[in-house]
Amino acid sequence: MQYVSTRGQAPALGFEETMLTGLARDGGLYVPDTLPQMGADEIAALAGVPYEDAAHRVIRPFVGGAFSDDALAAMIARAYAGFGHAARAPLKQLAPNHFLLELFHGPTLAFKDFAMQLIGQFFEAALERRGQRICIVGATSGDTGSAAIEAFRGLDNVDVFILYPHGRVSEVQRRQMTTPEEANVHALAIEGHFDDAQARVKDMFNDHAFRDEVGLAAVNSINWARVLAQVVYYFTAASSLGAPHRALSFTVPTGNFGDVFAGYVAKRMGLPIDRLVVATNQNDILHRCLTTGRYEVAGVVPSISPSMDIQVSSNFERALFDVYDRDGAAVAQLMDELKAQGGFALSQGALDRLRESFASGSASEEETRAAIARTREATGELLCPHTAVGVHVAEAARDPHIPMVTLATAHPAKFPDAVEEATGIRPGLPPRMANLYERPERVTRVPNDLAAIEDLIRERLRR
Ligand SMILES: Cc1ncc(COP(=O)(O)O)c(C=O)c1O
Ligand SMILES: N[C@@H](CCOP(=O)(O)O)C(=O)O
């Protein structure tokens, strides 16, 4: 299988090259040139199999010759061995025909672990084989950064620099990034918000001299391998609930559009998904776009679901590529308009096609708190605020006759203040993380300035 850039000007690559390359050299995002199909029998056969086996069956066609069957199986097994639930991604029923897909049983308590633990294995194998060294630079609104640090800490041939918006992540998220002691981990607190951090990371990739000098690599959902690993749990959840014989819908708390795009990939591979509901917090650019057809950046407003405080949703570009008939020049033009004018208008045809797969809704701060409180009262479950955004939107959007699965993207203990405010209950961290608040922190403040950040990275790499 080959991977092509959404902007049409970068070379097509195989799986391993795509993973190691990150952002395409034309500034676009890599996507598979065609998607493998899963037939009805193959989907039905996923019901009840261990998560690892399902992951192997879904991922295998995408990796081509990069890893043998046995090597892939061993990497998947290692990736999920440390998860705190035997099902890895268990389903819990909230109400008749409404389910939560719990994605927070990994080491850093957020759905990012599903992909990051696996690509940590992929990177390690590929780098060892090639005798190569890389410098990972990632942007995070809180969860990608901690998951990346957990997956890559202490590796000999990797440095990992994580840019997070200063003062805009929860204390648990911050401490997960600032307390690891390994010398290859560098937590950088940038002045600005997540969009600034993500823009600087993309700027670094577009600075080809710097990129080649340091061996830049991406672990954000810029990296196709991240999205791929997230496709798996749509299949496991759907097959447990009766797919392919029964269609179902998913509501996905959304920021950078990576997780919901993984659902779209599953649908295009043959999974009978009725609707993919994009659930945003008050930073609702995607909901506005799907409602009005205009993608218009507004200022990022801090919320109690900080991981979704995003206005420039990187992976939306991947969806645009499809609804503009894979016309890289058209996508490049929209992205240029976004950069120059802060927005663009979708053609009616593109909007109609997006709406064939995606519905949307948003939750205010009050609605998010109310969803946490109401769910606790009705079911005993404590939701993290991101999941609560999803539950609020799902309750409004769902057809009672079609099963709805809301993705529970993080553990409530990562956001104890918001949960306590809504319910009076302060969720505690699992025992293995109990001393997180006592560990010393190590962080460097950086300005929102490309040259300053590049200089700092060069200087750290020289040490
Ligand atoms: C807890 C949580 N929920 C939801 C999201 C949104 O996911 P995505 O950025 O893939 O849309 C994020 C950030 O990615 C997150 O950390
Ligand atoms: N919410 C994310 C933002 C980065 O998203 P990614 O999927 O592109 O890595 C975070 O927690 O960092």
Which-ligand-closest: CA of 225? Answer: 2
Using an 8 Å Cβ cutoff, are 109 and 84 in contact?
no
Chain centre distance of CA 212? 26
Q: Which among 29, 170, 194, 261 is the best mutation to test ligand 2's pocket, defined by most ligand atoms within 8 Å of the CB?
A: 194
Which CATH number is correct for 87-108+225-423, 3.30.230.10, 1.10.150.120, 3.40.50.1100, 3.30.450.20?
A: 3.40.50.1100
Question: Which residues in the chain show pLDDT less than 70?
Answer: none
Question: How far is the C-alpha of 302 from the C-alpha of 141, rounded, in Å?
Answer: 11
220 CA from centroid of ligand 2 (Å) = 6
Predicted pLDDT at 69: 98
**Cβ-proximal residues to 216 (8 Å cutoff; 6+ apart), any chain:** 22, 134, 135, 136, 137, 204, 205, 210
**Cβ-proximal residues to 88 (8 Å cutoff; 6+ apart), any chain:** 51, 52, 80, 105, 114, 233, 236
- Over the range 31-47, which residues count as b (16 or more CB within 10 Å of their CB) and which as e? bbeebeebeeebbeebe
* φ and ψ at residue 24, rounded to 5 degrees: -65, 155
Around ligand 2, the residues with Cβ closer than 6 Å are 140-145, 220-221, 255-256, 258, 307, 314
Degrees to nearest 5, angle at CA 449 with 445 and 450? 115
Predicted pLDDT at 434: 87
Q: By alpha-carbon position, which residue is closest to atom 11 of ligand 2? A: 143
Predicted pLDDT at 384: 98
Structural domain boundaries in the chain: 87-108+225-423
242 CA from centroid of ligand 2 (Å) = 31
- Over the range 75-107, which residues count as b (16 or more CB within 10 Å of their CB) and which as e? bbeebbeebeeeebbbbeebeebbbbbbbbbbb
Query: Is 112 tagged catalytic?
Result: yes
pLDDT digits (tens, 9 = 90+) for 169-194: 999 999 999 999 999 999 999 999 99
Which-ligand-closest: CA of 304? Answer: 1
Q: Which among 30, 104, 108, 112 is the best mutation to test ligand 2's pocket, defined by most ligand atoms within 8 Å of the CB?
A: 112
Predicted pLDDT at 65: 95
65 CA from centroid of ligand 1 (Å) = 31
Q: What size, in residues, is the chain?
A: 463
Backbone dihedral region of 231: left (phi > 0), alpha (psi from -120 to 50 degrees) or beta? alpha
Question: How far is the C-alpha of 145 from the C-alpha of 156, rounded, in Å?
Answer: 19
Using an 8 Å Cβ cutoff, are 387 and 253 in contact?
yes
Q: Of 51, 93, 88, which is closest to residue 73 (Cα–Cα)?
A: 51
Question: How far is the C-alpha of 438 from the C-alpha of 431, rounded, in Å?
Answer: 14
pTM above 0.90, yes or no: yes
Q: By alpha-carbon position, which residue is closest to atom 13 of ligand 1? A: 307
* φ and ψ at residue 280, rounded to 5 degrees: -115, 160
70 CA from centroid of ligand 2 (Å) = 30
Predicted pLDDT at 380: 97
pLDDT digits (tens, 9 = 90+) for 334-388: 999 999 999 999 999 999 999 999 999 999 999 999 999 999 999 999 999 999 9
Of 92, 112, 202, 267, the catalytic one is 112
Q: By alpha-carbon position, which residue is closest to atom 4 of ligand 2? A: 140
Which-ligand-closest: CA of 251? Answer: 1
131 CA from centroid of ligand 1 (Å) = 33
Q: Work out the widest C-alpha separation in the chain, in whole angstroms.
A: 60
Q: Of 207, 227, 211, which is closest to residue 219 (Cα–Cα)?
A: 227
Question: How far is the C-alpha of 332 from the C-alpha of 101, rounded, in Å?
Answer: 35
Using an 8 Å Cβ cutoff, are 68 and 60 in contact?
no
Question: How far is the C-alpha of 243 from the C-alpha of 208, rounded, in Å?
Answer: 45
264 CA from centroid of ligand 1 (Å) = 15
Which-ligand-closest: CA of 198? Answer: 2
Q: Which among 119, 141, 144, 163 is the best mutation to test ligand 2's pocket, defined by most ligand atoms within 8 Å of the CB?
A: 144
295 CA from centroid of ligand 1 (Å) = 19
Q: Which among 162, 317, 386 is the best mutation to test ligand 1's pocket, defined by most ligand atoms within 8 Å of the CB?
A: 386
Please enumerate, as own/partner, the contacts of 369-375 that have beta carbons within 8 Å and a separation of 24 or more: 369/304, 369/418, 369/421, 369/422, 370/422, 371/395, 372/418, 372/419, 372/422, 372/423, 373/422, 373/423, 375/94
Around ligand 1, the residues with Cβ closer than 6 Å are 110, 141, 143, 253-260, 307-308, 386, 409-410
ipTM above 0.90, yes or no: yes
Q: By alpha-carbon position, which residue is closest to atom 1 of ligand 2? A: 307
Return the residue matching tokens 């040490």: 463
Looking at residue 259, its amino acid is D
